Structure 1
Amino acid sequence: MPENEWSDPRLPEPVEWSQPHHDPPPGRGRTFLAAAVVVLIVLAAGGIAWRLMSNRGATPVAQPSAAPTTVPATAPPCPDPKLRVAAAPEIAPVIQQAAAGLGEPGQRCSEVVVQAAEPGAVLAAKPQPDVWVPSSSTWLTVAKSRGHAWSVTGDPLAWSPLVIAGPEAMESLFAPNGATSWTGVVQGAIQKRLPAVRMPDPMLTSIGLLSVFAIHQATARANPDAGLAQLQALTLRSRLENAAADPVELLGQMAGETDSTAATYEVGVFPVTEQQLLTYQRAKHDVRLAGAAPADGQVDADYPFATRKGAPADLVKRLRAAITGDSLSAAGFRAAATKGALRVPADPEALLGAARQWSGYQSVAFQVLLLIDASGSMNEKVTDRSGRTVTKASLLRESGASAAQLFGDDTSLGMWFFGTPGANSPAHTEEVPFGPIVAGAAGKSRRDELAARIGAYRPVSNAGTPLYRTVLDGVAEMRGRVKPNTVTVVVVLTDGSDGGTRFQMSHADFLKKLTAGADPAKPVPVIAVGYGPDANMPALQTMAKATGGHAIAARNPADLASGIAQAFLAAHAGK
């Protein structure tokens, strides 16, 4: 079996296989207890008891017993199963029930072992299962790109659209008139109308992966500029209460609540499959759960039946035939894809790029000083993506207003404009005094003041560009603010090069001064966005490298918002 090539450190520990109904080898039982959070739910329809796995591994699904069997205390251990099956947690009970029906009545040892595992966990498993039923066909494409080949014949076993769910007590907040939308969740999070929003890890779960895809699709349709759309999607990411929530654990937590108000704040809004929502509703828990498929981005989870080369063909065929449409329908799955659902890209990288951004985002206390170029060249006219003739400054005003929403409530920030309209002008002016974003500045929260000041941004014609002096002053200012467990950065946006002012200096002198006061124990990386073809990218790259930061080129006028989004991600990814 080749080594697993999926090397992302965020993936869970490899799945370990165990045979039902006999004692595991020493230590293996402890592995499962440590890897899984076990929640027992009795399904009202069918009375099937099953285990919900945690998002860090897999756990065997409890096997329904065909008849009571007395096992002698000295019974020999069961042989290894002939067929190992990994299945998404929500469909695993149906497959386990089908597998149990393949054995003889009273049989102690099973030829088939079925384990519930999120797709990301299966990708990391050694050895790989013989049969895999992930919750999206996309994972098979991802596996193929990593050197794992799976064969699929026929249609998926079932489908289930994603829904946005939450306690009925807050339904009017996230599903007005019973309708949900991804953009509604984004705006609800920004405006703090929703007490909490939680999402699963897109590098581990199909719900997370498909939700991130759908959110980006929805914001792209709502915004003509791709950069602004990305900023809106990232704003939701920055406001998540939990970005690695396990849907099964969330449902288990809801099931254990008796107070709908507590559930509203402890759990909040989260995506699940329709099947999981129906299963929860059928159980009639104290706290009722409401939900609906988002109107601006319906996307299906589908459940392909995939086999690995060398799997026992006859047993695979028998298991596949035993998983009936009636059993799937009774469990809440659909027999066909949702009409009008989003088409998931065939290229896995089209999904994984955004997924890695979300998964790699660091929710840490953040201190940022924004340095915005206010030199005369920012008044130059450009053509944006929609064909409008606008100025660089107007694009900055549009993008900056959205960027103001990106920062979380634990952020402290300040903003300077730099440019010299007169011979004796200072290199920069303080537009927003540094401090907590939720605290007051000029009678407003700093978030509101930041948006207002960017909205009023008007570069002065013929003003010079004191880029180097401003960066030196900004870095010096933030070095005095560095504190433990906090990311402290300087973000600079410029469309030109240092020059045209009394502060002008050579690049060599600038780098010498920039590195002279550096303290490895108190890093202040510079995240530099070079806007337009005249930006001095070599200079921005060297200042970023010298401080452990990151340089981003926004060459196209319409890419300004994308550049701001990349700078934001770079800072929160620790790059």
Structure 2
Amino acid sequence: MGRHHSPNTETTYATDAARSRRRARRRTVSIATILVLGVATGAGFAVRGGLLTFAGSCEDDAVQLDILAAPDIAPALDEAAELARDQDVTSDGRCLDVRVRAEEPHKVAGSLQGDGAPEFEVWVPDSDLWVDRASLGDSGEELTPAGNIASSPVTMGMVPSAAKSAGWPEKRYTWAELTALATKGDKLRLGAADPARSASGLLALTKIGASAAKADGPQSDTQVAATAKLLAERVSGSDTRALQTVARDDSGTEQGDPRRNQALIVSEQAAFTHNREAGEDGRLELFYPKDGAPRLDYPYTLVDESHMSTDESRAALRFMTLLGEDDSRGLLQKHGFRSGEQEEPAEDLVTAAGGREPQPYATAPAEPPAPKDLQATLGMWTITVQSARLTTVVDVSNSMGETVPNRGQSRLEVTKASLVRALSQFTPEDEIGVWEFATYLDGTRDYRKLVETRRLGDRTGGGTTQRERLTAAYRALHPKPGYTGLYDTSLAAYKDAQKSYVKGKFNAVVILTDGANQDPGSLSRRAVIDELQRLADPKRPVPLIAIAVGPDADEKEVKEIAAATGGSGYQIDDPTQMQEVILKAIIAAGGN
């Protein structure tokens, strides 16, 4: 014992490759787990059947097991732990002393990525996505999911008057159709927990994106962005706080406190708990989207199993088997959960939670979203709720004057037009500036600052806005008689962005170049990468986004430089793709 972590919320989602590696490791561990589970379960049955006896109480020789659980399921696990003590449940002849503590999963996921060792043996978050997040990188703890002990579909709840107006329970909706009710006008006040801190919020927003894409195709991004913007205005820090925003009476769309929500993205279990305590008018009615509800899946996860004693690991698995037995399944249902593998929910559970036929509450769950889809959604959310602070750094070396095939314009002319178009995607609260670079543009320096990074809505003394200044600066760029001074410029722009970092905004440097570094007097690539890695500060993240344009660009080079800061590098053949790639890169960096 004596192991400890401090929570840290600055975490990232795993790549598909990382997930594959973890799954391979989990398969290896699971063989031993099955063998141990068989021994532990057999011993438990033997004790209950009277085949094994012990002299006196085994309380003094109990195996202590510390469990950190999501706040919604912690009370149920605490009751199960009390049940284990009351019934003298044992593992290998030793009583189980299980202690349960509640903690938000996003905080635990962050803490498990740090140095040191946790002071708990089992973690039960509300979703496997937190296990993926915590497992990213080489510094994270070894996590071994042993099975899912409960589940709860993510739905949309409405106060009775709003539900009735929407045709509940007879009328069915897709996720896209449900959110359209709230985004078209102000007739329905919709809230949610922060998708950066809530599995319910993130799973639902990802599903809304997939639903809109299926219905609207290329126009889907507009609806998802509108939904994110709406949720950002009424977002809560946690699922518990989100439930506290629900209207306390059955207020219609024209009455009631405008600060309170009439609809909420919520899990079935959370609605169950809310309805149990709310009055008749304050209860929620649940819509189960017909295109499938994502589910919270409560993975029972062993933490740092290789450093657990044999008694601890067996006790952990014994407690998990207890949760699958009839008494504990009934206990979980009493708290509003479906069992881990349960497809057909108990009728009284659904009714108490606010469901009713013909809502499709018993349909198969939606397929879990891929890690890349979760990352993209989180990136989009980040950009929505956080204003951007970007420094654009544009290559103006002589090669940028070369003509783009089939365009009749130079690379720089097309790049400039793309930058101006991309500028229209940002709000007056976003901050953007521009540098140019080649070689020896300003004495011995390869770069020159043209417009300071400021709010696009700010005005100069002459009344010109920052957006207008940037537009003019972009259009005035022209090729210079120099080469590509990429290394020194990247390092200088990164240092400047770090120095002027603004907390609460998405800070980044965007570098646009058409070639590899051609400055013989600059630092080496290795030296630049090492220095960027040394400077990178997770508490003040400034991802570098590098976009290489044209056939002479070095994709490997820009990717390595960008990766050193937590950013990303891209190579495109056509500068007209630049606007799309810039926005894609910002979303990807926001997801990280």
State the TM-score, normalized to the length of structure 2: 0.50
Residue of structure 1 equivalent to 2:519? 507
Structure 1 residues 207, 379: closer, same or farther in 2, change over 3 A?
A: same
Deviation by residue 1:354-407 (Cα, 9 ceiling, x = unmatched): 58757988976654344567956574359xxxxxxxx999999789857743x4
Which residue of 533, 552, 556 corresponds with 1:534? 552
Deviation at 1:549, TM superposition (A): 9.3
Which residue of 151, 154, 160 corresponds with 2:153? 160
- Equivalent pairs, count: 462
Residue of structure 2 equivalent to 1:410? 429
Residue of structure 2 equivalent to 1:385? none
Query: Helix, strand or coil: the match of 1:413?
Result: strand
Amino acid at match of 1:210: L
Amino acid at match of 2:204: S
Greater helix content: 2
**Contact 2:247 2:260 survives alignment (8 Å):** no
Deviation at 1:197, TM superposition (A): 6.4
Residue of structure 1 equivalent to 2:366? 342
Q: How far apart, in 2, do the equivalents of 1:550 and 1:415 lie?
A: 19
Deviation at 1:523, TM superposition (A): 12
Superposed counterparts of 1:18-33, under 5 Å: none
Deviation by residue 1:95-128 (Cα, 9 ceiling, x = unmatched): 66677677879xxxx9765554444566656322
Which residue of 238, 245, 258 corresponds with 1:246? 238
Deviation by residue 1:408-454 (Cα, 9 ceiling, x = unmatched): 653233569999xxxxxxx99x999975334689999877x799999
Q: How far apart, in 1, do the equivalents of 2:295 and 2:567 lie?
A: 37
**Contact 1:489 1:527 survives alignment (8 Å):** yes
Q: How far apart, in 1, do the equivalents of 2:134 and 2:544 lie?
A: 37
Residue of structure 1 equivalent to 2:143? 148
Which residue of 108, 114, 120 corresponds with 1:127? 120
Superposed counterparts of 1:43-122, under 5 Å: 88-93=70-75, 115-120=101-106
Q: How far apart, in 2, do the equivalents of 1:564 and 1:157 lie?
A: 41
Q: How far apart, in 2, do the equivalents of 1:341 and 1:207 lie?
A: 14
Query: Helix, strand or coil: the match of 1:568?
Result: helix
**1:136 is aligned to 2:127:** yes
Q: How far apart, in 2, do the equivalents of 1:148 and 1:481 lie?
A: 34
Residue of structure 1 equivalent to 2:295? 300
Give the alignment's Cα RMSD to 1 decimal.
7.1
Residue of structure 1 equivalent to 2:279? 284
Structure 1 residues 190, 199: closer, same or farther in 2, change over 3 A?
A: farther
Residue of structure 1 equivalent to 2:207? 214
Superposed counterparts of 1:248-327, under 5 Å: 248-254=240-246, 264-265=258-259, 271-277=265-271, 279-280=273-274, 283-284=278-279, 292=287, 298-303=293-298, 309-310=314-315, 311-312=317-318, 315-316=322-323, 317=325, 319-323=327-331, 325=346
Q: How far apart, in 2, do the equivalents of 1:339 and 1:464 lie?
A: 63
Amino acid at match of 1:89: P
Unaligned 5+ segments in structure 1 are 13-76, 383-390, 420-426, 499-505
**Contact 2:562 2:569 survives alignment (8 Å):** no
Structure 1 residues 11, 489: closer, same or farther in 2, change over 3 A?
A: closer
Deviation at 1:247, TM superposition (A): 1.0
Deviation by residue 1:144-198 (Cα, 9 ceiling, x = unmatched): 9953334338xx644323337799789999x9x9957469869988999999965
Amino acid at match of 2:328: R
Unaligned 5+ segments in structure 2 are 12-58, 88-95, 113-117, 303-312, 334-345, 439-445, 529-534
State the TM-score, normalized to the length of structure 1: 0.52
Structure 1 residues 170, 92: closer, same or farther in 2, change over 3 A?
A: same
Structure 1 residues 414, 185: closer, same or farther in 2, change over 3 A?
A: farther
Superposed counterparts of 1:147-546, under 5 Å: 147-152=142-147, 157-163=150-156, 181=175, 199-200=193-194, 202=196, 205-211=198-204, 213-214=206-207, 217-218=210-211, 221=214, 236=228, 240=232, 245-254=237-246, 264-265=258-259, 271-277=265-271, 279-280=273-274, 283-284=278-279, 292=287, 298-303=293-298, 309-310=314-315, 311-312=317-318, 315-316=322-323, 317=325, 319-323=327-331, 325=346, 328-329=349-350, 331-332=352-353, 339=363, 341-344=365-368, 349-350=371-372, 353-354=375-376, 366-370=388-392, 379-380=404-405, 404-405=424-425, 407=426, 409-413=428-432, 436-438=455-457, 485=502, 490-496=509-515, 507-508=519-520, 527-536=545-554
Structure 1 residues 446, 360: closer, same or farther in 2, change over 3 A?
A: closer
**Contact 1:216 1:233 survives alignment (8 Å):** no
**Contact 2:145 2:300 survives alignment (8 Å):** no
